[in-house]
Amino acid sequence: MREQARTARVGTTVFGGRVTAGRPVVTLSLIGICVVVWLLELVSPAFESRIVFAPVLGQSQPWRFLTSAFAHDRTFVLHIVFNMYALFIVGSYLEPLLGRIRFAALYLISALGGSVVYLLMAHKPTPAELLAGEGGSWYTGLVGASGAVFGLFGALLVLNRRLGRSSAAMYATIAINAVLGFTIPGIAWQAHLGGFVTGVVCAAIIAYAGQPAPGRPARHDLHGIGLAAVTVVLVLLAVGKYAIT
């Protein structure tokens, strides 16, 4: 029986992930982490200051590029409610489709992409602007899973297109959220944009890289290489931004 278990083929999804049954474990784990972090923020407001991302802090404390995606505005409960609801709905669809590892990678890389684009679009104030109290987005903190969630939105569009499925409802959802991001003060639309574009790129790699062809088997190992390349590009963009600022 042990020998049979070692040699048995493991079922995979259409995109090369391991087939899983039951609850979306990664999605629920991400939601659980966000809720725990939010509760810690309520108990100790200083905790938020240690994980929030702001361009001024990213170079010396790079972990903030990711940790900020697990924090939410402690004074506005709907912030975490809306994000976690969206994460559950989209994650419950994407996680079984991609497999746990690919889904987790997609989420984290999209979160990183949201922070990096926020950094790229931030303006470092001049000494005169600082004296005038105009720190701008360089000193403005970024929290929330929105960038990562928008990455899932973008990935859903790409993967559904690859499968020939309709995404009509998602187009409307993205459009509404995009309008809200530009019209409501305090929403970091830059992170939404960065997460969305990153999610689209990651999903394109998963959907199209290494696909089987006549006489050639699938090369799903290329997914890891491609996702790693996206991560490296994001890191280099952040390093470059700090180098020239």
Residue pair 237/120 in contact (Cβ under 8 Å)? The answer is yes
- Answer whether residue 3 shows pLDDT above 60: no
Which residues form the catalytic set? 146, 192
Q: How confident is the model at residue 1 (pLDDT cuts 50, 70, 90)?
A: very low
Whole-number pLDDT of residue 188: 86
The answer for 18, left when phi > 0, alpha when psi is -120 to 50, beta otherwise, is beta
Is the Cα torsion angle 170, 176, 179, 183 positive or negative in sign? negative
Which range among 41-50, 91-100, 127-136, 222-231 shows the weakest confidence by mean pLDDT?
A: 127-136
- Answer whether residue 242 shows pLDDT above 60: yes
pTM attached to this predicted model: 0.89
Residue pair 41/75 in contact (Cβ under 8 Å)? The answer is no
Whole-number pLDDT of residue 114: 97
Whole-number pLDDT of residue 4: 42
DSSP bridge partners of 216: 213
Q: Which token pair is 2?
A: 């042990």
Q: How confident is the model at residue 207 (pLDDT cuts 50, 70, 90)?
A: very high
Over residues 62-78, mean pLDDT: 94
Residue pair 223/211 in contact (Cβ under 8 Å)? The answer is no
Q: How confident is the model at residue 214 (pLDDT cuts 50, 70, 90)?
A: low
Number of domains in the chain: 1
Whole-number pLDDT of residue 216: 66
d(CA 194, CA 188): 10
Q: Which token pair is 61?
A: 């404390």
Over residues 201-216, mean pLDDT: 82
- Answer whether residue 148 shows pLDDT above 90: yes
Over residues 120-124, mean pLDDT: 93
CATH code: domain of residue 52 = 1.20.1540.10
Print the domain residue range for 66: 2-244
Over residues 163-184, mean pLDDT: 80
**DSSP secondary-structure letter at 136?**
G
d(CA 217, CA 197): 29
pLDDT in tens, 77-116: 999 999 999 999 999 999 999 999 999 999 999 999 999 9
**DSSP secondary-structure letter at 8?**
S
Task: Give percent of the chain above pLDDT 90.
Answer: 64
Is the Cα torsion angle 16, 22, 24, 25 positive or negative in sign? negative
Whole-number pLDDT of residue 116: 98
- How many helical (H) and strand (E) elements, i.e. helices and strands, does the chain have? 12, 0
Whole-number pLDDT of residue 10: 52
Whole-number pLDDT of residue 176: 80
d(CA 72, CA 76): 8
Q: Which token pair is 125?
A: 């104030």
d(CA 97, CA 125): 44
Whole-number pLDDT of residue 215: 62
Between CA 129 and CA 136, with CA 132 as vertex, the angle to 5 degrees is: 55
